[in-house]
Structure 1
């Protein structure tokens, strides 16, 4: 499982700019709490090579993968990361909240107050995002 600031990251396919090069169709990891985005470790080397070649050729936009197959997504999921395969972010946020609640229960059993406080901050951030998402869905109806 990949973590950032105490929250498990979410995988998705998107665009990512490194230096002056915009790379499309990149497997990325997103932290729903601090909003950090990074290239998935499974393609990090390939991504860096593509960026280096693009810089040498003075190309500003490239595509990492022309096609993303279900097999690739399954391989990326092996890192233990929730992977967003469609536009609906709500199930993943709910999964993150459930996971955080489970960990909060463990922190109480272990009487680890510091960890419990960190988990409460994570839950607050995740819940805020979920509420915003639900409000956006209501407005679009």
Structure 2
């Protein structure tokens, strides 16, 4: 996944640790990063979820480590691919194609889990799965890869 930086260079996908209030680390936040000028920005598709998480953390007064990929489905799919991508780079499949495939697989899995939650009449679980489905399906439906190559 790539995007153009304001300096004209291509930015690549990476993951960062964000420190919030000097007491909470939010790890595995997907970002676009420019190797030339070191500019980085949070991936637009997860920014609203990151801001919502920051609001929750502000209210809770928690301390410690939060793994963002455990909060955001899209970040989780990206992170799982990126962990093995270096070994797979010799394949002809691009990151974007693999990512889209893995997103569709995750959507199918979440739909199956939703069916199980519905069968159990577990409203809280259904709501959580619906939230996760929205995070990933919105991205797939409105593919944010346009202009990011």
Q: TM-score range by the shorter chain?
A: 0.3 to 0.5
Larger Rg: 1
TM-score by length of 2: 0.44
TM-score by length of 1: 0.46
